[in-house]
């Protein structure tokens, strides 16, 4: 929405299309979960810099490079335009007061709780229900939940698994990718629900459970996938409103999905070649 200050329509659309590459707070829970689970806590420069920090900063850098490269491609092809001066009047900056910080924290907390109580909770409940259907009729005349792999959610996951297996993902990760389209941070709660419902991993910590099914290559590929993929319905809705067309959000989603898949494929296979 901030691109409304850009007068040139082509420049404005180009900015809208590359903005989702910037790492947002919704990606951070996924990054932190995978980094804590798969990246060893190794420090350099006498503890000043850690390997986990390097990986996190690299993900931010990957998003920046993706945005700049995409902007260059757009400005040299479908959104090519002549250079125009851009003047923006900046407001006067002042040191924040303690009261303004408290109000800001309360406001952000309300937003998180509202989201956690709607989208995340709804997705978690839906996954739990689908993991317990169809009901199995036992020989004793009672009913029980099916094996997770035989449930509705398991069948959906196994249906898409061949498409994501080259990235080092299993069917549970596939379900997480689908659910995270509603909101990126839903990925973590989805993983917790699925691994908690699996008898083989329900007694494990989520990070340990991920180690049970993923390799280092798959974990790095998943982080890169999230760095580049759209995975955000609300963003697509805003792009649709700001561009007044479904063509641009559809193009944006398809381009970022292909880029994310290709980058994850390369990262997974390069990591496997290096570390076996």
Q: Which two tokens stand for residue 3?
A: 């691109």
The pLDDT value recorded for residue 141 is 64
Backbone angles phi, psi at 82, to 5 degrees: -75, 155
Mind listing the pLDDT tens digit for each residue in 183-201?
Answer: 788 888 888 888 887 777 7
Confidence check: pLDDT of 62 > 70: yes
Confidence check: pLDDT of 85 > 80: no
Rounded distance between C-alpha atoms, residue 228 and residue 262, angstroms: 10
Report the half-sphere exposure of 47 (CA within 13 A, side-chain side). 0
pLDDT-derived band at 139 (thresholds 50, 70, 90) equals low
Report the half-sphere exposure of 191 (CA within 13 A, side-chain side). 26
**Residue whose C-alpha is closest to residue 17's, from 57, 69, 54:** 69
When the pLDDT of each residue in the chain is averaged and rounded to a whole number, the result is: 85
Where do we find the tokens 């070649």? 273
Where do we find the tokens 């590929």? 221
Backbone angles phi, psi at 6, to 5 degrees: -85, 120
Residue with the larger pLDDT of the pair 200 and 54: 54
The pLDDT value recorded for residue 48 is 83
Write the CA distances from 235 to 26, 113, 178, 213, 247, integer angstroms. Answer: 12, 19, 16, 31, 14
């Amino acid at each position: 929405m901030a691109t409304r200050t850009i007068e040139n329509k082509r420049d404005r659309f180009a900015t809208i299309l590359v903005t989702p590459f910037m790492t947002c707070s919704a990606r951070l829970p996924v990054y932190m979960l995978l980094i804590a689970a798969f990246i060893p806590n190794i420090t350099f420069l006498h503890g000043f810099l850690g390997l986990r920090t390097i990986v996190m900063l690299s993900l931010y850098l990957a998003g920046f490079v993706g945005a700049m490269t995409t902007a260059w491609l757009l400005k040299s092809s479908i959104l090519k335009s002549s250079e125009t001066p851009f003047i923006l009047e900046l407001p006067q900056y002042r040191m924040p007061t303690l009261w303004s910080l408290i109000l800001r924290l309360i406001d952000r907390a309300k937003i998180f709780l509202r989201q956690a109580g709607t989208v995340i909770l709804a997705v978690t409940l839906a996954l739990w229900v689908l993991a317990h259907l169809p009901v199995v009729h036992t020989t004793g005349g009672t009913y029980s939940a099916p094996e997770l792999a035989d449930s509705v959610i398991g069948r959906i996951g196994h249906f898409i698994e061949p498409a994501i297996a080259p990235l080092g993902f299993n069917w549970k990760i596939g379900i997480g990718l689908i659910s995270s389209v509603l909101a990126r941070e839903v990925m973590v709660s989805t993983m917790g629900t699925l691994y908690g419902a699996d008898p083989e991993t329900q007694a494990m910590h989520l990070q340990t459970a991920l180690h049970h099914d993923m390799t280092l290559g798959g974990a790095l590929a998943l982080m890169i996938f999230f760095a580049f993929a759209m995975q955000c319905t609300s963003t697509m809705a805003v792009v649709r409103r700001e561009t007044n067309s479904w063509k641009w959000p559809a193009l944006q989603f398809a381009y970022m999905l292909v880029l994310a898949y290709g980058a994850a494929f390369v990262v997974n296979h390069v990591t496997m070649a290096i570390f076996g």
